[in-house]
């Protein structure tokens, strides 16, 4: 699933297929934005399912479903780019604190040796 913010949302996307080496790790900011984009896309999808369709535009077709999923992804990306719901900021803050605590633990364990 490609959300266009930094890298794809796929664990194998970090693997460079030509050389078999790992590409650069996305920043905490990119990861937080990607997560928010996935969350918002899922939210939009559930919201769309809650609306009764008229059947006028072929809602049951596979092509229509693919189009709606792509539209939800793009809408989610645009919402996140414009500030989103603040979820990315909260995730970034949490991940930065967790990273800082991990670095402090490493420093303490290295100092004991």
pLDDT tens figures, 48-105: 888 877 766 666 677 788 888 889 889 998 999 898 889 999 999 999 999 999 999 9
Enumerate the domain spans of the chain. Answer: 11-112
- pLDDT value, residue 40: 92
Confidence of residue 24 (pLDDT cuts 50, 70, 90): low
> How confident is the model at residue 62, as a pLDDT?
77
Q: What is the pTM of this model?
A: 0.64
Confidence band of 26 (pLDDT split at 50, 70, 90): confident
Provide the Cα torsion 102, 104, 110, 113; round to 10°: -110
């Amino acid at each position: 699933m490609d959300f266009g913010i930094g890298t794809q949302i796929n664990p194998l996307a970090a693997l460079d297929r030509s050389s078999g080496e790992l590409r650069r790790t996305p920043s905490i900011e990119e990861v937080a934005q990607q997560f928010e984009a996935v969350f918002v896309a899922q939210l939009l999808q559930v919201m769309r399912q809650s609306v009764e369709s008229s059947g006028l535009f072929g809602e049951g077709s596979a092509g229509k479903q693919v189009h709606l999923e792509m539209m939800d992804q793009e809408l989610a990306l645009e919402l996140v780019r414009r500030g989103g719901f603040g979820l990315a900021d909260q995730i970034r803050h949490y991940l930065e604190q967790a990273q800082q605590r991990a670095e402090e633990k490493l420093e303490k364990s290295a100092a004991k040796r």
